[in-house]
Structure 1
Amino acid sequence: MQRPRFELPEALVMEILSKLPVKSLTRFNCVCKYWCSSFQTPHFISNNYHNNLQNNNLNLLLSRCDGNTFQPYFSQLSTEKDQNYIVKQNIHLPFFKNDTPSLYGACHGLMCLLDPSKDKAAIWNPSTREFKILPPSSIQRPPYFSPFEETYLTLDDVEFYHAAFGFDSKTDDYKVIRFVSLTFVNSEEEHPHPHSMYQVELYSLRSNSWKEIPYPEYTPTYTTLGNIYVDGICYWKTETGAYLDFRGLILSFDMGNEKFSILPIPEFVGSFPEYYVDLLVFNGSLGAIVYPSERIDTSFDLWVTSEGVWTKQFNIKSISGVVHPLGFGKNGDLFVRDTNNEVLLFDASTQELKELEINTYLDHIWAVITLHAYFESLVHINGVQEVEKHVIRQPTRDASNEY
């Protein structure tokens, strides 16, 4: 006797599939046209992403640069403690070959890469390997008139820095903001004195174009760890006053109304220059790691803000040899860099410092080593697919010396 055929409702099948990793869903695109088209619907993409959030399926990327070849690459780390955060694979990005891009994000599983010395940027989905190279800036660079030299100066250099990447829920649009520094000189002088002007540019994925927005009163500083985007707002640390009258502030930008604002840094951070303050995102909220500038037996305080109220989460006391925090993994584990440029892990549950199986002896450019956390996403950016040959898989050990 033939058994009756049992079929699950399509809605239930889609619900089950939405709980799977992006890598599995990519394979299942070939099962049937219905599945392939369903995986691209906003409803399925949203369900899959929120399932990853709910299950805390955090992914970690270590941004690095080979000190011999100066080639940028990213090491994807395992997030399972029993694997001791080993490197699963190294990823090279061909569209930034011979450049050293900075990585910004993540937002809905997407990241932005920006070359500070060139008008070169891209949006990247590390889960689907899709990337979109952004168009060059169309912003006018006005001539600079020097009242002291009574002449117009020549544009000598353009730099792009302090970028941020986020989502505008009002228009359902992903945006990139970056600060631009323009350097002008008198080309007729043998040793010209440089003059600077500043701009802010905003990119819209929906329009695929850049536009200039008003420059804020304050300029960001380089003290953020990984992502600085929370619920439609981007954050940077800034400052005002002279050395002895220094005052730290937080500069914010609303992706929706495209306006800058200033927030105070509370008194808890201590006085400058005895303490450093690095901004980061911790469990979906804006946080600040505060640590002394004296780099022997460094201790760390983590503060998190909610509706403008800062609360101290925990204190890590006297980690010998650690010089800089990199960011957090799962369950409050803190990644740090020591005096030998090694990446270590402070286990919050055991209060122990662990060496990781990550070879950093080739990463001589220590400033490039940054940690980025993201959740997998199927979000499409109308880009192109990254070539698989640029992914070097290392299931058991690091491959930073195997190029």
Structure 2
Amino acid sequence: MLDTTRITHYLPSFSFSFEYNIRFHLQRLHLRAKSAFISLQDMPHYPLRFNQVPPLFCEPFILRGFRSIHQPWSYYLKSLFHKHNETINVWSHLIGILYMGYLLFFYYNKRLNFYENSHSWPFAVSLCTAIIMFICSAFAHLFHSKSEKVHMSCFLIDFIGVSFHGFGSGFLQIYYSAPQWFYEKIEYYYVFILLILGILACFLNCFAQYYYCRPYPPIKRICQFFPCGLLWIYSIIPLCIRLYSSNILSHPALICHLIQIILFLIGATLFGFDLPQRCCPGVFDFIGQGHHLFHLCIYFVTVCQMHGVYWDYEEFQKIIDQRSKPELIFCAGSMLSLLAWDIIIVCFFRRKIHKKYHMH
């Protein structure tokens, strides 16, 4: 027979031991976290002021928050957990990587079945291009302060992301959101046009980065914004047609399309005209400057884009499924073609930039 008295005799000590162990492990975990945080704070003190770094690293109307140059790579990696004028730029797009990865591998994969449903492949391509864009941007803003050469190379890589995002947006919106009559007109060459515009955006951005020196003249931003604007306008033509011919409040997809267009215009305006820091130099160094707001706008633009287009696919699935099925080589091949051209462009200008700085 079971002796319950012996069990109850040991229960109090067992309970106390369990509570003690939990408390002990929590204390150890707290001390380790505190020690790791303190070790990160032992880095050289920054932010630096604009007059303490080379002109290449200075942004208009940003006075503080610059990191030291010529430090070990670990210095810039650890700066991910510190306050400087690039912290928001890095974290906004790190979050974008995680969220787009979740949409690609879990949320939309479950709903669209990327492996078997060939009509969902353009959606998968667009999610991949969004992830590449966020990776390129986060990498550039985290590590560009190491040196002049690294700075230039990092933002050449960033322009690959810009090119990819424009291409992926067009690929997504033209395939799923374009009215059938518009899709039938451009069906055979829309990817070719997207490729040309994506390559042009990468090339002109890299050229402007190489050719113009600080203080940058206004023509530099025109050279960068013009091809990106063309790519963006081409990608949203289907959305504009839908918005013009429909009751916007009749479907959540249309609301998403309108929001993403407005957010992109707001973000581009703030970034292009250095707002709001132009009005209050030094006030928005760490949070709230135009570049930060542009990054946040791009994140929410991408989120609205994905959800809005998914709702379009749900609404027009019967029409879309009647189209000729996209081939894997068509979807993956177009993305890889753009990547190949962008890498060639970046390598070309990177060599020219290294020669330029070597001569100096």
Is TM more than 0.5 here? no
When the two structures are superposed, what TM-score results if normalisation uses the length of structure 1? 0.21
- Provide TM-score, normalisation by structure 2: 0.22
Q: Greater Rg, structure 1 or structure 2?
A: 2
Structure with bigger helix share is 2
Q: Considering fraction of residues, name the structure with more strand.
A: 1
